[in-house]
Amino acid sequence: MVNPITAYIALGSNLGDRRALLDSAVQSLRVEVEVVRVSSYIETAPVGGPSGQGVYLNATAEVRTMLAPFALLGALQRIEDGLGRVRAERFGPRTIDLDLLLFGDRTINAEESGIALVVPHPRVHERLFVLEPLAEIAPLAVHPVLGSTIRDLRDRLRVPTPQTRVLEGQNAVVTGSTSGIGRAIARTLARAGANVLIHGRRSQATAEQAAAECRTEGVAASMMLSDLSEEANCHAFASEAWDRLGAIDIWVNNAGADTLTGEAARWSFEQKLHKLWAVDVRATMLLSRAIGERMKRQGRGVILNIGWDQAESGMEGDSGQLFGVSKGAVMAFTKSLALSLAPEVRVNSLAPGWIRTAWGDGASSVWQERVLRETPLNRWGMPDDIAQAALWLASPGAAFITGQIIRINGGTVR
């Protein structure tokens, strides 16, 4: 006999009578599945989407079901339709929003009848408004990809106490900070008290959203757009950023060319090499030199570059060759720059391992299994794992650390 599956559903509303809509959604769920428990309702500010939205009322529900994943998804969409959900704008206001967060210990990335389903929900680990109510009813439930409990994921996102604002009043610039690792670093530096300048390549709306997130931490945050694949833009961006902030204490070179997803994934080897050289290597070097000289004159500063943990050990295939040479160059440059700028400026490199960013969210089961097999801590790394390392390196706690490659990879040693 087949046993029912335990699944977790997120519920949210910011239009109409929010509490009544959540109550109605729960009652409709009881028709489709067995509702085991429902969390408290909590109010949270909207994340992303158009400005001026109303505050959300959020909750989570634990259910048991015999339905297959796509059948359950279909049931959730029917409930949304019945409660007046209009899908007009991504992250826009809605009467009801029902998301399938977890489905047992299953990992799903599939499409059926033109409808895509990704489980675990690809952003569950980034959303405190989901993790807070979920931790209330299922603190020990385990994220099947990350290997962390819901309580642990929640605790990583909780706002720190005032004693942790070790960067109070400092100014930080994080390139490539509209998403992924860069966005996590920017938010973490802001939580520690640093004023932050967000950098993006082309999306003003996304950059402003990231800056707005940082401002919720009680710091000043602004944004600038610049295509760092162009040499002239690197010099202009460094000068304008310095002039805007007056002085810069922390500079993080996170911007990198994405050659793994979207149209770029279909580029030739030569095209990818050209783009990686321009953004990951040349831009990092030009920005580091320009900002480093200014920091040395002001008598203080920290520069962090992004390397790759397998640049030295090697990885098979085109991507291994491309990222090995580009990130290997960044790591070698970091050591030489540290010698050039000491003792006033500290320069270090973060070398991430398997980190769950946009590529990881859509990676095949083969790659998912490889990540767990190669990582002794048996989970994907998170952008927040890199951000916490960046915070430490930028803080007074790392005052005697320079010229080093810090590997954040869950213990991978090959």
Q: pLDDT tens-digit profile of 172-198?
A: 999 999 999 999 999 999 999 999 999
Residues 290 and 392 in one domain: yes
Residues 131 and 184 in one domain: no
CATH number where 307 lies? 3.40.50.720
* Residues shown for the chain: 414
Average pLDDT, the chain: 90
Q: 366 lies in a domain?
A: yes
Kindly name the residue from 94, 183, 187, 356 that is annotated as catalytic: 94
Residues 210 and 134 in one domain: no
**pLDDT > 70: percent of the chain:** 96
What digits encode the pLDDT tens for the residues 247-288?
999 999 999 888 777 787 888 999 988 989 999 999 999 999
The pLDDT value recorded for residue 85 is 85
Residues 167 and 151 in one domain: no
The pLDDT value recorded for residue 49 is 67
**Of 129, 156, 183, at which residue does a domain stop?**
156
What is the sign, positive or negative, of the torsion defined by CA atoms of 395, 398, 400, 406? negative
Question: Whole-angstrom Cα distance, residue 365 to residue 109?
Answer: 9
Question: Whole-angstrom Cα distance, residue 158 to residue 41?
Answer: 18
Kindly name the residue from 17, 64, 85, 414 that is annotated as catalytic: 85
Question: Whole-angstrom Cα distance, residue 152 to residue 164?
Answer: 19
Q: Quick check: pTM over 0.85? A: no
Task: Name the pLDDT band for 414 (thresholds 50, 70, 90).
Answer: low
The pLDDT value recorded for residue 74 is 94
Q: 414 lies in a domain?
A: no
Question: Does the active-site annotation cover 152?
Answer: no
Question: Whole-angstrom Cα distance, residue 166 to residue 149?
Answer: 28
The two structure tokens encoding residue 255: 């911007």
Question: Whole-angstrom Cα distance, residue 183 to residue 349?
Answer: 17
Residues 236 and 363 in one domain: yes
End-to-end CA distance of the chain: 44
Residues 148 and 167 in one domain: no
The two structure tokens encoding residue 173: 């610039």
Q: Which domain holds residue 35?
A: 5-156
Task: Name the pLDDT band for 91 (thresholds 50, 70, 90).
Answer: low
Residues 209 and 230 in one domain: yes
354/343: higher pLDDT: 343
Kindly name the residue from 30, 81, 90, 99 that is annotated as catalytic: 99
What digits encode the pLDDT tens for the residues 348-376?
999 998 888 777 777 778 878 888 888 88
Residues 249 and 172 in one domain: yes
The pLDDT value recorded for residue 44 is 86
Mean pLDDT of 75-99: 86
CA dihedral 213, 219, 220, 224 (to 10 degrees): -40
Question: Whole-angstrom Cα distance, residue 49 to residue 37?
Answer: 30
**Of 94, 124, 156, at which residue does a domain stop?**
156
Question: Whole-angstrom Cα distance, residue 82 to residue 93?
Answer: 16
Residues 118 and 207 in one domain: no
What digits encode the pLDDT tens for the residues 384-400?
899 999 999 999 999 99
Residues 345 and 203 in one domain: yes
Question: Does the active-site annotation cover 99?
Answer: yes
Residues 318 and 242 in one domain: yes
Backbone phi and psi for residue 347, each to the nearest 5 degrees, phi listed first: -130, 125
Question: Does the active-site annotation cover 94?
Answer: yes
Per-residue pLDDT at 324 exceeds 90: no
The CA distances from residue 316 to 71, 152, 273, 319, 324, in Å, are 39, 34, 16, 8, 10
**Of 130, 156, 182, at which residue does a domain stop?**
156
Q: 413 lies in a domain?
A: no
Mean pLDDT of 377-382: 84
Residues 74 and 172 in one domain: no
Question: Whole-angstrom Cα distance, residue 352 to residue 371?
Answer: 13
What digits encode the pLDDT tens for the residues 200-251?
998 999 999 999 999 988 899 999 999 999 999 999 999 999 999 999 999 9
Residue 13: strand pairing partners: 57
Per DSSP, 53 falls in state: P
Count of domains for the chain:
2
Mean pLDDT of 10-27: 93
Per-residue pLDDT at 302 exceeds 70: yes
Mean pLDDT of 308-328: 84
Mean pLDDT of 21-34: 95
CATH number where 83 lies? 3.30.70.560
Per-residue pLDDT at 134 exceeds 70: yes
